[in-house]
Amino acid sequence: MRAFQVTDFNAPPNLARVELPTPKTGEVLLEIAACGLNFADLLMADGTYQDTPAPPFTLGMEVCGTVIAHGPDVTAPAIGTRVAVFGGQGGMADKGVFPAALCRPVPDQMPAETAAGFMVAYGTSHLALTRRAQLKAGETLLVLGAAGGVGLTAVEIGKAMGATVIAVARGADKLAVARAAGADHLIDSHTEDVKAAVKALGGADVVYDPVGGALFKAALGACNREARIIVIGFASGDIPQIPANIVLVKNITVIGFYWGGYLGFNRKALTDSLAELMAWYAAGRLKPHISHVIPLENAADALALMRTRQSTGKVVITP
């Protein structure tokens, strides 16, 4: 079968022919229909992600597919069930083995491309805003990188929770995507002073930051007293140093959030969150945005779209 693999961190990933994997105890074999890409895939390709395996490995953290074989002692999900799963790797391939316990049945009305890019982006924003930041209706939520894979879901979920949402993105096209997701106010990070613009809108009570760098500093300066800043990631490549004096004087809380980490210490928090999100989707409250669906043979182009910030929402690979 085909698999898009990292064989050396000093060389670009490549599409290779590999042996069909055999599911082990606790695993299922999936016929993969779609694989959602995440910024973490870029970091894994470079060997800089916190959970990067040793080469060779297949990229692709989350997939939608159909169960076609069980490992020993596995009886569910049943053969033929369409599922979504966050496996951490192995998704950019024709087939893959994944833990049976992590597979979630996909609603009939949810397309494979949507299901493949749903879990990480929506799960990250939902759990970060509900459990960690405890966003309340009426508060002002500032979303940085608001047209990206997780940022756009934060705009949508924040609005669904009753917040006033300020979206920060680069360029009119990306801001238009954030507006369509429900943003109340738009700030162009390329042409505007983000700190001044947010303060003119009354400041931020909660900041959702998957970007880091200069935008983190600008957002910190625009925080209201007792604001919460959620650190999601560092898409800018710049991990900011936090000035503790500002945090102290304004009673600001800086919150770290790593969605995948909950698999190791509180899996129920993830499953409860995803169950609520699936219900929201079924009720028509969520409208996932996919900017590109790209065949597996062009997987390198898909990564390039993300690396050069040309995508909005999700990029999805289809074998």
CATH (domain of 80): 3.90.180.10
Asked, for residue 209, whether it belongs to a domain, the answer is yes
Residue 239, domain member (yes or no) = yes
Rounded distance between C-alpha atoms, residue 31 and residue 43, angstroms: 26
Answer whether residue 282 is part of any domain: no
Among the three residues 260, 276, 304, which one is the final residue of a domain in this structure? Answer: 260
- Checking DSSP bridges between strand 104-105 and strand 140-143, what pairing results, if any? unpaired
Strand 204-209 to 2-6 pairing = unpaired
Do residues 11 and 64 both lie within one domain? yes
C-alpha 170/C-alpha 190 separation (Å) is: 5
Structural domain including 102 reads 2-118+288-318
pTM of the predicted model as reported, rounded to 2 decimal places? 0.89
Residue 222's SS3 state is coil
Q: Each residue's pLDDT tens digit in the chain (319 positions)?
A: 999 999 999 999 999 999 999 999 999 999 999 999 998 999 999 998 888 889 999 999 999 999 999 999 999 999 999 999 998 999 999 999 999 998 989 988 899 999 999 999 999 999 999 999 999 999 999 999 999 989 999 999 999 999 999 999 999 999 999 999 999 999 999 999 999 999 999 999 999 999 999 999 999 999 999 999 999 999 888 999 999 999 999 999 999 999 988 988 998 998 899 889 989 998 999 999 999 999 999 999 999 999 998 898 899 999 9
Q: Which amino acid is at 297?
A: E
Q: 266 in a domain, yes or no?
A: no
Contacts 24+ apart (CB under 8 A), 298-304: 299/4, 299/13, 299/15, 299/59, 299/92, 300/4, 300/12, 300/13, 300/14, 302/37, 303/13, 303/37, 303/41, 303/42, 303/45
* Distance of alpha carbon 210 from alpha carbon 167, whole angstroms: 13
